[in-house]
Amino acid sequence: MKVLVWHVHGSWANAFVRGGHEYLIPGPPHGKGLLGRDWPSAREVDLSEVDADVAVVQEVEQLALVPKGIPVIYLEHNTPKMPNQKHPMADWPGLLVHVTHFNDLMWDCGTTRTTVIEHGVVDPGHLYTGELPHAAVVVNDPVRRGRVVGTDLLTRFAAVAPLDVFGMGTEELGEWGRGDHPLDVLHREVARRRLYLHPVRWTSLGLSLIEAMHLGMPIVALACTEVVRAVPPEAGVVSTDVAELERGVAQLVADPALAAEQGKQAREFALARYGLDAFLRGWDRLLAEVSR
Give the range of the structural domain holding residue 69, as residue numbers without chain letter: 2-120+276-291
Asked if residue 137 is part of any domain, the answer here is: yes
Q: How many domains does the chain have?
A: 2
d(CA 114, CA 98): 7
Cβ(133)–Cβ(164) below 8 Å:
no
Partners of residue 226 on adjacent β-strands: none
pLDDT along the chain (292 residues), means of 10: 95 95 96 92 92 97 96 97 95 98 98 98 97 97 96 98 97 95 95 98 94 98 97 98 98 98 98 96 97 86
**pLDDT for the residue numbered 49:** 86
Please indicate, yes or no, whether residues 200 and 280 belong to a single structural domain of this protein.
no
Q: What is the CATH number of the domain that holds 146?
A: 3.40.50.2000
Cβ(191)–Cβ(263) below 8 Å:
no
Please indicate, yes or no, whether residues 23 and 39 belong to a single structural domain of this protein.
yes
**pLDDT for the residue numbered 167:** 96
**85-107 exposure pattern, b = at least 16 Cβ within 10 A, e = fewer:** eebebeebeebbbbbbebbbebb
**Residue 69 DSSP symbol:** T
Asked if residue 126 is part of any domain, the answer here is: no
CA dihedral 206, 88, 19, 289 (to 10 degrees): 140
**pLDDT for the residue numbered 194:** 98
Asked if residue 125 is part of any domain, the answer here is: no
